[in-house]
Structure 1
Amino acid sequence: MSNAQSYRGSCFCGAVQVEVSGEPAGMGYCHCESCRHWSAGPVNAFTLWEPDAVRVTQGADNLASYSRTPASRRMWCQTCGGHVMTEHPQMGLIDVYAAVMPDFPFAPGLHVHYQESVLPLRDGLPKMRDVPAEMGGSGQTLDE
């Protein structure tokens, strides 16, 4: 890790700890059905990082994972079940959930997969039908 700003996070019980360094590639809210079901909530706050910016500093052997599709590998703590992060191999990025890093200055820039939203949010941020074109999506936005 470089001398860039870093932030620490952990699962619910603290057995698994992660550190991110530098600036995220993106931040926002995901409304897709997979994220909603995984998080057991109506929306997921994400922070996307280059793999070299993410490091498991404790409890790597306690991480379990599941891949419903090749697009993601979701990881959680085997002790408490707390969700930690999701690798997105096709995008070459890792989503470290904003909620697991209490001191991270989360500043969302957009909503993705908004066509699947079950909780409409009127916050002035762009609402992407799927994901931005540069990430392989349509790049289409929807009205608030």
Structure 2
Amino acid sequence: MSQANRYQGGCFCGEVQFELTGDPVAMGYCHCESCRHWSAGPVNAFSLWAPDALRLTRGAERLESFNKTPRSTRKWCATCGGHLFTEHPEWNLVDVYAAVISDFDFQPAVHVNYQETVLPMADGLPKFKDVPADMGGSGITLEE
């Protein structure tokens, strides 16, 4: 694969590092309460990848994980606490937080769980009440 389709990333202290190969399945913003609390921000910028696109290159033994629900396993660095990604087994996808991928051209295409937003964003992108129907949601979109 070409270098254009390889991305490096890591945690805040650099103890855990990873490589992504290929292209994300989707990119956007999640406004759900869980993502807001986890990210300590009003919105989470996500990039969804096939699990085999992600390869840990350093510090796998430093990864910690937490399951609030069976739908997601959140992972972070035990040294610095830096959040890295969330595995979504029901969707067979991993959300690698866009902010931890170096030199990544984040191009959001959608907002999900917009009914829970605390930071309205007028950017012309579709705003799903929950998630698209093909991901198990209602597929309902909301106005900006």
- Tell me the TM-score range normalised by the shorter chain: over 0.9
Paired with 2:18 and 2:27, the residues of 1 have a C-alpha distance of: 17
Match of 1:138 in 2: 138
Paired with 1:24 and 1:100, the residues of 2 have a C-alpha distance of: 14
Paired residues, what number? 142
**Mapping 1:90-109, distance limit 5 Å:** 90-109=90-109
Match of 1:124 in 2: 124
The residue type equivalent to 2:62 in the other structure is N
Aligned-residue CA RMSD in angstroms? Answer: 0.6
Percent of residue pairs identical? 65
- Quick check: 1:81 aligned with 2:77? no
CA positional deviation for 1:102: 2.6
Indicate the SS of the match to 1:34: helix
- Quick check: 1:62 aligned with 2:66? no
Paired with 1:134 and 1:101, the residues of 2 have a C-alpha distance of: 27
Match of 2:53 in 1: 53
CA positional deviation for 1:13: 0.2
Paired with 2:133 and 2:7, the residues of 1 have a C-alpha distance of: 29
- TM-score, with normalisation over the residues of structure 1? 0.97
Paired with 1:136 and 1:104, the residues of 2 have a C-alpha distance of: 28
The residue type equivalent to 1:64 in the other structure is E
- Quick check: 1:33 aligned with 2:71? no
> Please, which runs of 5 or more residues in structure 2 have no aligned partner?
none
Indicate the SS of the match to 2:69: coil
Which structure 1 residue ranges, 4+ long, deviate > 4 Å from structure 2? none
CA positional deviation for 1:18: 1.1
- TM-score, with normalisation over the residues of structure 2? 0.97
Match of 1:22 in 2: 22
Match of 1:11 in 2: 11
